[in-house]
Amino acid sequence: MGKTLFDKIWDAHVAHPVEGGMDVFYIDRHFIHEVTSPQAFDGLRQRNIPVFRPEKTIATADHNVPTRDQHLPIQEALSRFQVDKLTENCEAFGVRLYGLGHPYQGIVHVIGPELGLTQPGMTIVCGDSHTSTHGAFGCIAFGIGTSQVEQVLATQCLLQKKPKRMRITVEGVLPAGVLSKDIILYIISQLSASGGTGHFVEYAGSAIHSLSMEARMTICNMSIEMGARGGLIAPDEKAIEYVRGREFAPQGKAFEEAAARWRTLYSDEDAVFDTEYHFRAEDIEPMVTYGTNPGMGMGVSQSIPKPPSKGNAQTFMKSLDYMGFQPGQKLVGRAVNYVFIGSCTNSRIEDLRLAAAFVKGKKKANNVYAMIVPGSKQVEKQAKAEGLDQVFREAGFDFREPGCSACLGMNEDKVPKGEYCVSTSNRNFEGRQGPGARTILASPLTAAAAAVAGKIVDVRQGLQEAP
Amino acid sequence: MEKFKKLQSAAIPLPIEEVDTDQIIPARFLKATTREGFGDNLFRDWRYGADGSPRQDFILNNPIYGGQILVAGRNFGCGSSREHAAWALYDFGFRVVVSSFFADIFRGNALNNGLLPVQVSESFLAAIFSAIEADPKASFLVDLEAQLFTIQATGQSEGFDIDPYKKTCMLNGYDDIDFLLNMREKIEAFEQKNS
Ligand code: SF4
């Protein structure tokens, strides 16, 4: 029987099989950030052991950093303390750090791929659930807890049980105005926020392979939002070309050798998956969420569904109450006062280009505060080189410096209580963007359009009216 | 890690589904660099109003309920990988969380911190909620050795699954890291072979 892509990578990384089904699983790349690492370093100190393979761990400061005046000392004392702690730990343990002010600093899942640190066939972990992003290159990449961060620092390995395999195939051609963010929000709305639990997902099909690498990252990024451990896509020539020439990618002959290996990374035709789903690209609309988990999404032209007859109607209504919505309502036309374009889901240069192309020559609505937070220093630099920052500023958007920002509201970038925010991030949980904040997840295009209109709009309509 | 063998305790009901880690411990409270003290902010925005006063309608603020077992609706612990969620529950005093379904990362984090996730069927979960409704002080028995959860008032019990290796860890208070450190030679051999 053939092997799935997932099995090929997994099996190549079992350093030692343990009786009873666990594997000592070897990690090629370990990313760390300021929030989930300090307790792990303290653990090493208590045991008096070094970082086992310091060259395989890369650190950045992203979750807690301000997105203004990054050249100045961090104002907020606790955030500063955490970021300083990271610097101190990296120095003490010999770990490479791209901290504030470094040209490579940025959201951990944005910098890995852009620096060529993320390569096909790798195993990648980070103390952050959206590590699944790196799966776009054909990697087994998943989020871990702090105890596991400590384990990887200490041994470069984790004890892992092989998850089940799921394949989600999307065939066909995406309608105009529908982006990869819409694909993944659609999939999650169909499978629910727990539909992928226990599984690792391979995304396949013509609609997936037609996407750019950055668009693929958006899809893999949100795998965790349906409960899956991670998601991956078989590396094709597009993936290989994306990696070529990047700072930490193999160079010259070594690259060609690596690329030859990468070309063997696909699911064999007779490989069997534990679970399979099929979707058609033509069925997908621009998506918005109406509730407080990413599974509560719908096509923008649809109405909010009735409470489920099976399952917990109480939880459903609690969620709608929080959002201030009613079953049966449409969201198109609803005023929103905040727009956030950023996060590891949608803060790459293509996302910014897309939003800028829409915004160019327009002005944001008066009621809206709109914020663009590039995913990394490099994205910021590129955006400036292309004049995108200017486009945004002229349209009245706030163009910030890189970090996680309003995705999780750890720094001062928060959405006030009761306010609606159309956000390109990945979680619409209660209070995620600030206590009482109401998040509507959407694509960068839908977000940009909401900023200009001051309300939720169906971007397809604008596209049709355009000459 | 603390050992866990058996626990007899009352339970606190939280019959809400999809309780995510941002509810368990909101991101703005993740700034500490130690593992302790997160219990103060457990379920912060459900437990306290914006002005910091306790919300009377939230179960943790109701003195009738107590105990070291939290009973919650399905898909408990979905969302972020923050281990702070497990630390907060543990720090608050919980040793067992019961649900009909756990998110993967949360389950792993809980097990790594001596907090036992007990997954039961929907119908048994409903029976537990009814038992607490009938008597807020109702007592439950969690027996890890036997992998059995018992509603003592009715005598109903249900078995639960746990990975055999993880069970040994919980029973003896071992961490994965001890195990992995003992594997260093094997890991180095693997590296040699693959370099
Ligand atoms: S941008 Fe948001 S989801 Fe992504 S790593 Fe940062 S906090 Fe996590």
Of A222, A254, A275, which closes a domain?
A: A275
pLDDT above 80 (res A296): yes
pLDDT 10s digits, A245-289:
999 999 999 999 999 999 999 999 999 999 999 999 999 999 999
The C-alpha atoms of residue A395 and residue B133 are separated, in whole angstroms, by: 56
Report the separation in Å between the CA atom of B58 and the middle of ligand 1, taken as the mean of its atom positions. 29
Give the residue, out of A60, A372, A404, with the most ligand 1 atoms within 8 A of its beta carbon, to mutate for a pocket test.
A404
Q: Is residue A281 situated within a structural domain? A: no
Residue contact B101–A293, C-beta within 8 A: no
Are A207 and A343 within one domain? no
Task: Tell me how many residue pairs between chain A and chain B have CB atoms under 8 A apart.
Answer: 186
Dist. CA A409 → ligand 1 center (Å): 10
The pTM assigned to this predicted structure is: 0.95
Are A245 and A292 in a shared domain?
Answer: no
Chain A residue nearest residue B178, CA to CA: A151
Secondary structure of residue A316 in the 3-state scheme? helix
What pLDDT is stored for residue A149 in this prediction? 97
Quick one: DSSP state of residue B83?
Answer: T
Give the CA angle between residues B72, B81, A166 to the nearest 5°. 85
- List the one residue out of B9, B149, B118 whose CA is nearest residue B65: B9
Q: Are residues A231 and A360 in the same domain?
A: no
What is the reported pLDDT for B32?
87
Q: What is the pLDDT of residue A21?
A: 83
Interface test with B, best of A56, A128, A151, A221 (most B CBs within 10 A): A151
Q: Are residues A302 and A267 in the same domain?
A: no
Q: B20, A311: Cβ pair inside 8 Å? A: no
Tell whether A283 is covered by a domain. Answer: no
* Average pLDDT over all residues of chain B: 95
A299 and A218 part of one domain: no
CATH number of the domain encompassing residue A17: 3.30.499.10
Do A243 and A293 share a domain, yes or no? no
Residue-averaged pLDDT of chain A: 96
What's the CA gap between A106 and A291, in Å, rounded?
29
Residue A466's pLDDT is 44
pLDDT band at A1 (very low <50, low <70, confident <90, very high): confident
- CA–CA distance, A172 with A205 (Å, rounded to integer): 8
Closest listed residue to residue A174, CA positions, set A463, A466, A467, A465? A463
Residue A36 belongs to some domain of the structure: yes
Is A98 within a domain?
yes
Judge if A26 and A160 occupy the same domain.
yes
Enter the ipTM.
0.92
Angle of helix A180-191 relative to helix A213-221, nearest 10 degrees, comes to 20
| Alpha-carbon gap: B65 to the closest alpha carbon of chain A (Å) | 21
Q: Residue A463: its pLDDT value, please?
A: 64
For residue A282, being part of any structural domain is answered with: no
Could you give the percent of chain A with pLDDT greater than 70? 99
pLDDT in tens, A146-197: 999 999 999 999 999 999 999 999 999 999 999 999 999 999 999 999 999 9
- Residue A464 banded pLDDT, cuts 50, 70, 90: low
State the smallest CA–CA distance between residue A72 and chain B in angstroms: 20
Give the pLDDT confidence score for residue A409 in this predicted structure: 87
Residues A297-351 pLDDT 10s: 999 999 999 998 776 788 899 999 999 999 999 999 999 999 999 999 999 999 9
Q: What is the pLDDT of residue A312?
A: 78
> B63: Cβ–Cβ under 8 A, 6 or more apart, which residues?
none
Residue A99 has pLDDT above 60, yes or no: yes
* Domain housing A293: 288-465
DSSP SS3 for B174: coil
Percent of chain B at pLDDT > 90 equals 92
Which of the listed residues A250, A275, A300 is the one where a domain comes to its end?
Answer: A275
For residue A164, the cross-strand partners are: A199
Residues A360, A424 share a domain: yes
**For A352, left (φ over 0), alpha (ψ -120 to 50), or beta?**
alpha
Regarding whether A264 and A326 lie in a shared domain, the answer is no
- Tell me which DSSP letter residue B20 carries: B
Residues B7-65 have pLDDT tens digits of 999 999 999 999 999 999 999 899 888 998 999 999 999 999 989 999 999 999 999 99
- Same structural domain, A51 and A189: yes
Nearest CA in chain B to A146: B83
Of A38, A131, A151, nearest to B33 by CB-CB distance is A38
Element (H, E) at A13: none
Q: In what order do the strands lie in the sheet with B96-99?
A: B116-119, B96-99, B69-72, B6-14, B139-143, B148-151, B157-159
Is residue A250 domain-shared with residue A329, that is, in the same domain? no
Min Cα distance B7 → chain A (Å) is 24
Is A411 a residue whose pLDDT tops 70? yes
Give the pair of three-digit tokens for residue A213.
């690498």
Convert B14-26 to b/e letters by CB count within 10 Å (16 or more is b).
bbbbbbbbbbbbb
Is A467 a residue whose pLDDT tops 50?
A: no
Secondary structure element (H or E) that encloses residue B155, with its range: none
**Is residue A373 domain-resident?**
yes
Number of domains in chain A: 2
* Among A226, A251, A275, residue at a domain's last position: A275
Percent of chain A clearing pLDDT 90 (strictly above): 93
Q: Which residue of A has its CA nearest to B122?
A: A311
Q: Which residues of A touch B22 (CB under 8 A)?
A: 408, 427, 429-432
Please state the rounded mean pLDDT for residues A374-387.
Answer: 98
The type of residue at A305 is: P
Q: State the nearest Cα–Cα gap between A227 and chain B, in angstroms.
A: 6
Q: Which residue spans within A77-232 are E strands per DSSP? A: 96-98, 123-126, 140-143, 157-161, 164-171, 199-204, 230-232
Q: Is A96 inside any structural domain?
A: yes
Distance A264 CA to ligand 1 centre (A): 31
- Same domain? A224 vs A316: no
Report the alpha-carbon distance of residue A178 to residue A460 in Å, rounded. 8
Q: Atom of ligand 1 at shortest distance to CA of A427?
A: 3
Residue A298 lies in a domain: yes
With the most atoms of ligand 1 within 8 angstroms of its CB, the residue from A343, A405, A428 to mutate is A343
Pocket residues: Cβ below 6 A from ligand 1: A 62-63, 107-109, 128, 130, 343-344, 404, 407-408, 425-426
